[in-house]
Amino acid sequence: MSPDLADILAEHWEGYAQRHRPRLAAAHYRAVRRVLGCRTPALGGRLYRCDGCAKPHFAYHSCNHRSCPRCGSAGQAEWTARQEAKLLPVPYFMVTFTLPAELRQACLAHPKELYHLILKQSAAALRDVIATKTKGGVGGFTAVLHTWGRQLQHHPHVHFIVPALAWHPGKKQNLRPGKDGFLVHYRPLAQRFRTLLREGLQADHPDIYQALPPAAKAVFLPKKTWNVQLKHVGKGNTALRYLARYVKRSAIGPKRIIGYDKQGNIRIHWTCSGSGKPGILTLSPDEFIRRWLIHVLPKGFARVRHYGFMSAAAVATRKAIRLHLGADPDPQPDLPEPQPHTCPCCGGNLTFLREIAPIHLLRGPPGKAPTQAA
């Protein structure tokens, strides 16, 4: 049986933490504790009894940490259903803003500040370009921050799901794509993003901007072209399901880990972005843990954000837009039904009896075995 992330952390985390303590943050320790405790006595659980065979059954609690590969499937399905219910009957585009490689090291040093700024300024750039093209129209879009590449390397970028529509309260003006699926040109979008990010750094985080190396500051020069991609994605359903994999899940899925090789390195599956051919990546345990920790976001950081008429405060505007387009003004999401608890022995229903308290291991004096506390 292949090891999972918890198995690798249980074997290698203590040594890794001792060797790399200066570069670890509180969010890293919190993520490791949650992953190691997921579905174990450390988080407690629930006791059930089968109505058919009367056998007791115990279920451990999940950690529900967004960096845990065991958790998030239920939340992913629910998020997808709620977002699909908000889709408008217009063409959709996926717009991707990628941060230049020269600025990525600064993101590792200041993740909370710079990730927030990337989301904020990329949304502002998209808003400004759409408003300019539609002469004051208001766009609406959903942003998802994605920090990893196919080999778990640090590759921060923001995906936007953008309906081809700009709402003007007076004119009800629509922004429609051309025959070739064209929304807006990428060059003014990239230039606007570059300008807004530089201005945001200088205004909100001048100390971070001043500490940037010359090569990082040079990416803000006019001759530097930033990477912004626009892709027509039809009605938006497929793109939403693609992004849902990054909303509630970890950077490394449980099925990607193959196991150890003869040298003790970890082998994982990956897919080449150019050819689409599968490959096998070999990493040392330290490098594997380092790459996973890169994508542990600060506590409370929202990687999914909604802007314009897709924001939480624009419910009335969205209803007006749907009425204007002839769609249901108040669509209800088709939420997945919860799976019933059944007995694995006879298939009978399980009746909840009581909660089981977490079990914490307490450190004892040197030379004595640790005790347990319920």
Under 8 Å between Cβ of 207 and 168: no
**Euclidean distance between the first and the last CA atom of the chain, given in angstroms as a whole number:** 31
The pLDDT tens digits of the residues spanning 175-218 come to 666 666 788 889 999 999 999 999 999 999 999 999 999 999 99
200's CB contacts (< 8 A; 6+ apart) are 117, 120, 121
250's tokens = 């970890």
User: What SS3 class is residue 144?
Assistant: strand
Domain assignments of the chain as residue spans, ordered by start: 5-65+337-373, 73-251+295-325
Angle at the Cα of 160 (from 154 to 162), degrees rounded to 5? 165
Q: What pLDDT score was predicted for residue 371?
A: 39
The pLDDT tens digits of the residues spanning 313-336 come to 999 999 988 888 888 888 888 887
Work out the pLDDT band at 96, boundaries 50, 70, 90: very high
Instruction: With a cut of 80, say whether residue 1 has pLDDT above it.
Output: no
Beta strands in the chain, from DSSP E residues, in sequence order? 45-50, 56-60, 92-98, 140-148, 154-163, 227-232, 257-260, 266-271, 278-283, 304-308, 350-356, 360-362, 371-373
Instruction: With a cut of 80, say whether residue 273 has pLDDT above it.
Output: no
Residues in the chain: 374
253's tokens = 């899925």
